[in-house]
């Protein structure tokens, strides 16, 4: 019997939507940030939004584990159900009044992400998916691009300095030389662009689990790939790429080539 994850997905979408509306109360208000131990910024909006999401999950699914960017892991370590949440993916953009930040919620069941959503509140874009039930973009079915050659593709990326910092400069140069178009859309929005067919490859050399939460199921259900730079679908590799299944072999070959 096929398991339906629709009830989870509906809860995730509603939660992401309501959380996104909460972030808008702080957007373009000159909000200030504190610096965390890893030298990344955090604002009152990040904290209030994560508290809201956690409360909804705890009330609806009290036995489930929660892993969030701002408040870490809950105590239910043995639970087969784990929620990964990033209340504002793209805090630096959020602070500058740039609209490409997102709310991310993913549900991993027995080690596999089965449902998730990425919501861009300013743009009012909801991309959500559940296993075996398709990927949906504001109510219409989402698909990755049909482009089958990187020479015709749009590659999106975040901070170029991270590609250098995490020893991905050689792969970056090879991909740049192969791509038709390079566009800078950092953070989760780049992966959203791939899932909705507006880009063919997103490169992320450094990712936390909560940054990845919904994307394996979103990309898979859209006909694509999300995972590490070696071809394994996971949210736990501390790195990620999104691309189409047609382009994945070419992308992995370029990444894996040895630098001269």
Q: What does the alpha-carbon distance between residue 206 and residue 238 come to, in Å, rounded to a whole number?
A: 5
Q: For the segment 12-28, what is each residue's pLDDT rounded down to a tens digit?
A: 999 999 999 999 999 99
Q: Is the pLDDT of residue 260 over 60?
A: no
Q: For the segment 51-75, what is each residue's pLDDT rounded down to a tens digit?
A: 999 999 999 999 999 999 999 999 8
Kindly report each contact of residues 245-251 with a partner whose C-beta sits within 8 Å and lies 24 or more positions away, as own/partner: 245/144, 246/146, 246/147, 246/148, 247/147, 247/148, 247/149, 247/150, 247/153, 247/200, 247/201, 250/149, 250/150, 250/178, 251/150, 251/175, 251/201
Domain 6-137 has CATH 3.30.540.10: yes
How high does pLDDT run on average in the chain? 95
Domain 150-256 fold: D-Maltodextrin-Binding Protein; domain 2 (3.40.190)
| Mean pLDDT of all residues in 142-166 | 94
- Sequence ranges of the domains in the chain: 6-137, 150-256
Q: Is the pLDDT of residue 259 over 80?
A: no
Q: What is the pTM of this model?
A: 0.96
Q: Which of 108, 160, 151, 101 is nearest to 131 (CA)?
A: 108
Q: For the segment 199-244, what is each residue's pLDDT rounded down to a tens digit?
A: 999 999 999 999 999 999 999 999 999 999 999 999 999 999 999 9
Provide the 3-class DSSP secondary structure of residue 208. coil
- Class of residue 98 by CB neighbours under 10 A (exposed 0-12, middle 13-18, buried 19+): middle
Q: What is each CA distance from 256 to 3, 224, 230, 246, in whole angstroms? A: 37, 20, 8, 17
């Amino acid at each position: 019997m096929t398991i339906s994850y629709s009830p989870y997905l509906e809860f995730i979408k509603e939660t992401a939507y309501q959380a996104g509306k909460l972030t808008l109360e702080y957007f373009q208000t000159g909000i200030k940030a504190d610096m965390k131990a890893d030298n990344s910024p955090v604002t009152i909006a990040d904290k209030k939004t994560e508290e809201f999401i956690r409360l909804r999950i705890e009330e609806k699914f009290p036995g489930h584990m929660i892993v969030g960017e701002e408040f870490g892991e809950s105590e239910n370590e043995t639970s087969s159900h784990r929620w990964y949440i990033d209340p504002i993916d793209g805090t630096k953009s959020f602070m500058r009044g740039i609209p490409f930040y997102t709310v991310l919620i993913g549900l991993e069941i027995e080690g596999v992400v089965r449902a998730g959503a990425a919501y861009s509140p300013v743009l009012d874009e909801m991309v959500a998916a559940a296993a075996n039930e398709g990927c949906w973009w504001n109510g219409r079915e989402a698909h990755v691009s049909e482009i089958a050659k990187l020479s015709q593709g749009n590659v999106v990326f975040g901070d170029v300095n991270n590609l250098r910092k995490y020893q991905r400069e050689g792969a970056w140069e090879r991909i740049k030389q192969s791509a038709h178009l390079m566009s800078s859309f950092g953070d989760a929005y780049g992966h959203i662009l791939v899932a909705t067919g507006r880009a063919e490859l997103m490169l992320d050399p450094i990712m936390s689990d909560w940054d990845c939460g919904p994307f394996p199921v979103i990309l898979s259900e859209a006909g694509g790939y999300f995972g590490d730079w070696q071809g394994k679908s996971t949210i736990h590799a501390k790195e990620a790429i999104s691309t189409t299944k047609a382009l994945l072999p070419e992308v992995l070959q370029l990444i894996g080539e040895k630098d001269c």
